[in-house]
Amino acid sequence: MISTIDKVTTESHGDDHGHSHGHAEHHGPRGILNWLTTTDHKIIGLSYTITSVIMLVIGGALAEVIRGQLANPNGHLVTMAQYNELFTMHGSIMIYLFAGPFAFGALANIIVPIQIGAPDMAFPRLNALSYWLYLTGAITMLLGFFVTGGAANFGWVGYAPLSDAIYSPGAGADLWIGGLMLTGFSAIFTGVNICATVFYLRAPGMTLFRMPIFTWNLLVVSILILLAFPVLTAGLIMLYSDRHLGTHIYTVVGGGSPVLWQHIFWFWGHPEVYILALPFFGMVTEIIPVFSKKPVFGYKGMVFATLTIAALSLGVWAHHMFTTGVVLLPFFSIMSLLIAVPTGIKIFNWIGSMWRGQIWFSAAMLFSIGFVVTFLIGGLTGVYLASPPLDFFTHDTYFIVAHFHSVVMALVIGGMAGLYYWGPKITGYMLNERIGKTQFWFLFIGTQVFTIPQYILGLQGMPRRMAIYPNDPQWQTLNTWSSVGAIMIGISTLLFIVNIVASWKKHPAGDNPWDAHTLEWFTTSPPPHHNFFRLPQIRSERPTWDHNHPDAKTLAHGKDAH
Amino acid sequence: MELTPRTPKGAPAKSRLRRLAIALALPIAGISLSGCTLPGFGAHQSDTTTGQSAYYLWQGFSVVAAIIGAFVLALIVYAVVAYRRKGDEIPKQTQYHVPLEIIYTVIPILIVIALFVATIVTENKVLAMPKTDVSINVNAFQWGWGFTYDKQNAISVGSTTESPVMVMPVDTDVRIVLTATDVVHGFYVRDFNFSRFALPGVKNQFTLHATKTGTFFGQCTQLCGLYHSIMYYKVKVVTQDEYQTWLNSFNTPEGKAAADAAKKVLKEQMSAHVPVKTEISRGAN
Amino acid sequence: MRVEAKILIALGLFFGLMCAVYWTWSLENAGGVMMFFGMGLCLLPGSYYYWWSRRMGPRAEDDPNATQEAGAGYIDAFPGSSIFPFTLGMGAFFIVLALVFGSWMLVPGLGLVIWAALGGIAEGRRGGSR
């Protein structure tokens, strides 16, 4: 039933092909040189994970300063100029340097090849290049803090003409553009790599409709990356040429159009939202069924929901531009509203996966449920914003800020779920469950304490990106609550670091600590150099479960309706 | 609406239909109700007619969102409480329930269509362009505002040190012609439940119809550089008589001189003035 | 292969439909052009995969009843380690910094890129690392 395969022995150099075990240990360079020269997707993925979590900490630290400033209507913690830099870099770091790379670079890089039974990514060297471009892009953007004039200060959306050379002179803005170009190319290469891996390196029997949902989502994300990121890179090149080469693409004076930047930016920016979100949806879709001891409910519906989100995502960008008055309101309104349908299907499927299960409340499962609840809040408030008349009076207020922080904090919670779930697979050691659960409560409650006052503030008319609000001291209470929430989120991040230190190499995980479903739990923890010594026969989307529970197969289609 | 469902499979088709009917009726009911009977869900009833339309739509959306949110949250809580681990046996490995999946695809689509219809109805009210004689040109610049009046001497210019005042008559349709001279700004009066970008090179037009006199607070909402946080202005809604008096005050010699001085200031601010290429009289639909 | 092709083609057709509706309705060019090329970006690989799938027939990973033995054998050369991604990345880093700090940085940037390109090609010819 189980067969040792040759597929894992794929290195063309080195010793004979017959013995898989010969490849378990890879004899490459050691130490720092190993890190610099590695092409192993697991090490690259780990580098991605560590780098992006560092970015999360940096971005989070900036957020704490922002919340410190806003806890007082006449805050003097930072100046207005510094404040503009702070929220610009907070947004840029979180979106470009944390959320994206963490979503499609970190866990995806480690897990996707293993989930489909592949020995590595399709293009290992391109994969390494992606990481180096990401790292250098991050360094480039952060260098902005150290140049004269400071870092970029025109918001993470960089609306032209504020971002052109007249209104934002200085190297900080150029470094922002350069950093985005590098990370943009990094994302494109990762997208190519994941597509090729999923299309060409699946194990025998792993048909497309047997892939785990996480892999499915990453495939769709990669397609979206290839559609969206080139547009951003092109837009940035035009912005740079406006700044330094004398063109007038985004300036009215020379015959250009400032709104063009908004079109280009959001044509990337809205698919980017799904590029960020779908991997975390995938993580949660892996975790909830495992800890409910059930298969994922509505597998095919889940796949089609993901594809529908991807299909619609290209036609919704201008809902960020409703208040410009120059976009086709009904088209973007209905497209954006329709996104709620596949998203709703996903939420019902998550609940369906728990229904009549045996729910084990491990830290990963708690984080996943926290994700669903937080995302529910963010999703429902998103429906309002798809309606132009409602967007008119909430646009650029804290309502928007609260909405997307509900969503992205849901993603952070989902990402934590992923780290607690796959951490043992990556490192070989369990994370401390008790600290994990404490961290969950801090993060989950902190998120709500952080966002809910912001919804109210937005409806009361507090615009975003305000350093001070001297005319409205009545907002101080709610802002202080929001700051308290931010501190709780900060504590939860510290708890995560404490957990890593506390559980460092303490409790070996074994191959399959969660009784999980998919192929990565069939191999050792951490997996060997080319991932597998052997593979089970793949007859459903849960090969490891089928192997461990031969008498508890998924009920055939239709037999489940009692 | 029952919040605790019996089972996912259970309910007969008839009650599904009833639930569907309720879900469809609600947003429309939310709009048709005058708003007195429903809570505001955090928003405030506006002091313009357009803002009020948006407010009713807000209520409709909020009712739908509250019902869906409560229903889904109840499902999650029920699942978490009822199906926590009780033993080691493996539960039934159900993966599909096609009728249920179709139901939770179709019902959201119907809700979305209902919300969309309500949106379009409100949008047409909010963006309506009735004929009017009162027209105010709003110029946004870094970091202040200039308000000039069609065929009148009246003007108000101010920046961060002194907030300019936009005076407008009550119970009258007022056309706002909005543009920016340098970067993108945002025209936003919180009590009017409305905002619009001031785009360089674009003349954005919309109508405000205030229903109440008073002074309202406005500020720039779109990040426009260093002093974005304090780019304030005021909107003073006055009676017709007071409005005429105010306009006439600019026709006296002193008033004219003050207006000329203010115009000079505005012209200086608009030295980076950019040609207007696009004129928009309505949202682009 | 065929399912992959069909997914891409379906996405492309949907983008095409959306593009047609949007462009004729709004007459706004930026979005129309971007959606049009979005369609192309899906149809191009999609049709290629479709054509290839007709020539190739189902692979082991497309066969729901395939055994693991069916996939045994040599896949391709997977370089165990390589310095050239790092060199290329650093080259790109210097080129981007040249946009900001002055064109002298193009010298190390282009140097590293050329080194990485030559070295990488040579490494690929050898079929792996070292």
Pairing of strands B173-180, B202-209: antiparallel
Burial (CB count <10 Å: 0-12, 13-18, 19+), residue C119: middle
Query: B169 and B178 in contact (C-beta within 8 Å)?
Result: no
Q: Name the closest residue on chain B to residue A84, using Cα atoms.
A: B226
Q: What is the pLDDT of residue B16?
A: 55
DSSP letters, chain B, are --SS-S-SS---HHHHHHHHHHHHHHHHHHHHS-SSSS--TT----SBHHHHHHHHHHHHHHHHHHHHHHHHHHHHHHHHHHTB--SSSPPP-----HHHHHHHHHHHHHHHHHHHHHHHHHHHHHT-----SEEEEEEEETTEEEEEETTS--EEEE-SSS--EEEEETTSEEEEEEEESSS-EEEEEGGGTEEEEE-BTEEEEEEEEB-S-EEEEEEE-S--STTGGG-EEEEEEE-HHHHHHHHHTTTSHHHHHHHHHHHHHHHHHGGG-----EEESSS--
For C45-54, what is each residue's pLDDT tens digit? 999 999 998 9
Indicate the average pLDDT of chain B: 83
Best of B3, B58, B63, B95 to substitute, by most chain A Cβ atoms within 10 angstroms, is: B95
For B229-260, what is each residue's pLDDT tens digit? 889 999 999 999 999 999 998 888 888 888 88
* Chain B residues closer than 8 Å to A159 by CB: 183-184, 222-223
Interface partners of A (3+ CB pairs, < 8 Å)? B, C
Q: Which of A258, A372, A383 sits opposite B199 (nearest CB)?
A: A258
ipTM: 0.93
Q: Would the CB atoms of C25 and A129 count as touching at under 8 Å?
A: no
Structure tokens at A385: 């914003």
A8 pLDDT higher than 50 = no
* Chain A residues closer than 8 Å to B229 by CB: 80, 83, 465-469
CB contacts under 8 A, C 105-124 vs A, are: 120
Q: Mean per-residue pLDDT for B78-98?
A: 89
* Predicted model pTM: 0.90
CB contacts under 8 A, A 130-159 vs C, are: 131-133, 135-137, 139-140
Contacts of A465 (CB under 8 A, 6+ apart): A84, A87, A155, A396, B223, B228, B229
Among A307, A340, A327, CA closest to C22: A327
Q: What is the pLDDT of residue C67?
A: 82
The helix or strand, by DSSP H or E, that contains position A534, with its residue range, turns out to be strand A534-535
For A328-362, what is each residue's pLDDT tens digit? 999 999 999 999 999 999 999 999 999 999 999 99
C-alpha distance from residue A424 to each of A43, A292, A532, B18 (Å): 15, 19, 17, 48
Closest CA of chain B from A167, distance in Å? 8
For B129-186, what is each residue's pLDDT tens digit? 998 889 999 999 888 899 999 888 888 888 878 889 999 999 999 999 999 988 899 9
C-alpha distance from residue A252 to each of A64, A257, B202, B277 (Å): 38, 6, 9, 9
Q: Would the CB atoms of A356 and B284 count as touching at under 8 Å?
A: no
At residue A243's C-alpha, the angle toward residues A160 and A255, to 5°, is 60
Structure tokens at A521: 């739990």
Q: Would the CB atoms of A460 and B283 count as touching at under 8 Å?
A: no
- One digit per residue, the tens of pLDDT, for chain C of length 130 reads 888 999 999 999 999 999 999 999 988 889 999 999 999 999 999 999 999 989 887 888 888 888 877 776 666 666 678 889 999 999 999 999 998 888 899 999 999 999 999 998 888 777 654 4
